[in-house]
Amino acid sequence: MAQWRPLPESTRPETRLLIEELRHLKQASGLSLAGLATRTAYSKSAWHRYLNGDNFPPRAAVDAFGALGGAERHARLLELWDSSVRPPQPTATPEPPPQQAQQPELPQEAPPARRPHRRRITVAAALALVGSAAWAALPHPPEATPTAPAPTACRGASCQGDAPSASPCRTDARTQSALTTASYAVKLRYSPSCDTVWSEVRNSSTGAATESPMLVAPDPQEAEACAEVNHKMLCTGHVPPG
């Protein structure tokens, strides 16, 4: 069994449970990382990052792996994934005790504001561009005809894991950043109306494109898009270090 790195203390409990369950399933399945890549169409290096806690796994990867462990564990993993991407519930603030009538009311100094923790959001097109199958990479759709039904609108967490091609989020989508090679272009796409990001990989010769599922990202400056091209990971974004 691989010795995985301990997860950071700042990891959400739901995310910690998800990663630990994935590690247990890998051990129980007896699959190597290479075998896991073959069974799920996600690369060996991608699974190493997911199980080591470096990157948060997409729902499609958890769905494919969970299906190998039986119905009960499959449902448990998807439930943990959904809990991990759900915004945390705010805690109730207790009301201060009532002031005595004879005492003057003194101004209360506000506590110092906490600096928010900036979390890196990585969207990866599940695509190894060396001829292997990548069923999780979605084909770039043709333009809809006037008689086609309009896609259902979503925003934020309700868009998580959805395909951009089946959502109106692409209507106002813009390219946040891009990385271009001689053969391929990797783009980080962002929809302000949906608060989501996704990665797009385009073949410079044929124009064919693939996209990853969407992830919630209110601030695209904290996101990056990655794709594995010829056994090399290409990433683009403006994520600050740390």
What are 58-97's pLDDT values in tens digits?
999 999 998 988 899 899 999 999 988 888 776 656 666 6
Long-range contacts of 141-146 (CB under 8 A, 24+ apart): 141/165
pTM here is 0.43
Q: How confident is the model at residue 140 (pLDDT cuts 50, 70, 90)?
A: very low
Same domain, 77 and 148: no
Same domain, 75 and 127: no
For 15, 40, 81, 111, the CA distances from 26, given in Å and listed in that order, are: 17, 12, 17, 45
Domain count, the chain: 2
Same domain, 149 and 77: no
77 within 8 A of 57, measured Cβ to Cβ: no
Give the separation between CA 216 and CA 150, rounded to whole angstroms: 22
Q: What is the pLDDT of residue 98?
A: 59
Of 85, 112, 145, which marks where a domain is finished? 85
For position 33, which CATH number holds? 1.10.260.40
Residue 116 lies in a domain: no
Residue 185: strand pairing partners: 180, 202
